[in-house]
Amino acid sequence: MEIKDEWTQEEFLKNKKALAKEGVDVVLIDTILSPIEKANTLTYNPYEMKKYPKGSVFVFYCDTGKATKERLPEYKEKFPEYNCVSLKGGRGYWRVNMQLLDEDDK
């Protein structure tokens, strides 16, 4: 799977599910000390983040997605053995009740 620099919430949910099947961790990283309700997030902490297996995907979010997108090159430099992605629209566009349905559930 090609990993783009920016994911929407829907892409995050789909990719997290697909990558989990391949044994790849996808972690939502809180850069603003404001966890997203009903989402499993990790506060930005390089020490804790480097405990994840190499090749894991870190999806960084801020309030609007602008700051994390601008800082993506910095994150990629700091975590070269990981995939770094910005959450498009940030926390402001996150829909708490959004979920993906399997084809069987429709």
- Using one digit for the tens of pLDDT, what is the confidence trace for 73-83? 999 999 999 99
pTM: predicted TM-score of the whole model, two decimal places: 0.91
Contact indicator for 86, 76 with CB cutoff of 8 Å: no
> Please, which residues have CB within 8 angstroms of residue 14's CB and are 6 or more apart in sequence?
100
Which pLDDT band holds residue 102 (cuts at 50, 70, 90)?
low
Average pLDDT over residues 33-53: 95
Average pLDDT over residues 38-45: 94
> Please, which residues have CB within 8 angstroms of residue 86's CB and are 6 or more apart in sequence?
5, 6, 7, 59, 60, 61, 65, 68, 69, 72
Which pLDDT band holds residue 100 (cuts at 50, 70, 90)?
low
Average pLDDT over residues 45-70: 97
